[in-house]
Amino acid sequence: MTENTSSANSQRVLVVEDEPTIAQAVADRLAAEGFAVEIACDGPSAVERARTYVPDLIVLDVMLPGFDGLEVCRRVQAERGVPVLMLTARDDETDLLVGLGVGADDYITKPFSMRELVARVRTVLRRFERAETSADTPAAPELLRLGPLEIDQKARRVRRDGHEVHLTPTEYDLLGCLVRHPGTVLTRALLLEQVWDWADASGTRAVDSHVKALRRKLGADLIRTVHGVGYSFEVPE
Minimum distance, C-beta of residue 86 to Ca ion, in the bound complex (Å): 11
Give me the least distance between CB of 109 and Ca ion, in Å please: 13
Residues 6+ apart with CB under 8 A from 73: 60, 84, 86, 102, 103, 104
Q: Check binding of 89 to Ca ion (CB under 5 A).
A: no
Strand pairing of 149-152 and 143-146? Answer: antiparallel
Which residue of 61, 116, 171, 173 would you call a contact of Ca ion, by CB under 5 A? 61
Closest to 132 in 3D by CA, of 180, 166, 82: 82
Task: Write down the least CB distance from residue 22 to Ca ion, Å.
Answer: 8
Tell me if 93 contacts Ca ion by CB under 5 A: no
Closest to Ca ion by CB, 43 or 83 = 43
* Binding of Ca ion by 63 (CB under 5 A): yes
Minimum CB separation from Ca ion for residue 18, in Å? 5
Stretch that binds Ca ion, among 53-61, 95-103, 152-160, 174-182 (CB under 5 A): 53-61
Does position 18 bind Ca ion by CB under 5 A?
A: yes
**Taking a C-beta distance cutoff of 8 angstroms, is the pair 226, 185 a contact?**
yes
Q: Are 105 and 170 contacting, i.e. CB atoms less than 8 angstroms apart?
A: yes
Q: Which residue is nearest to Ca ion (CB)?
A: 63
Strand partners, 15: 39, 59
Peptide bond into 148 cis (omega under 30): no
Q: How far is the CB of 153 from Ca ion (least distance, A)?
A: 38
Residue number, 18 or 38, with CB nearest to Ca ion: 18
DSSP string across 104-120: -SEEEESS--HHHHHHH
Distance (Å, whole) CA 81 – CA 208: 27
56-64, 77-85, 106-114, 191-199 -> range binding Ca ion (CB under 5 A): 56-64
- CB atoms inside a 10 Å sphere around CB 130: 13
**Shorter beta-carbon distance to Ca ion: residue 16 or 151:** 16
CB nearer to Ca ion: give 36 or 64.
64
List residues near Ca ion by CB under 5 A.
18, 61, 63
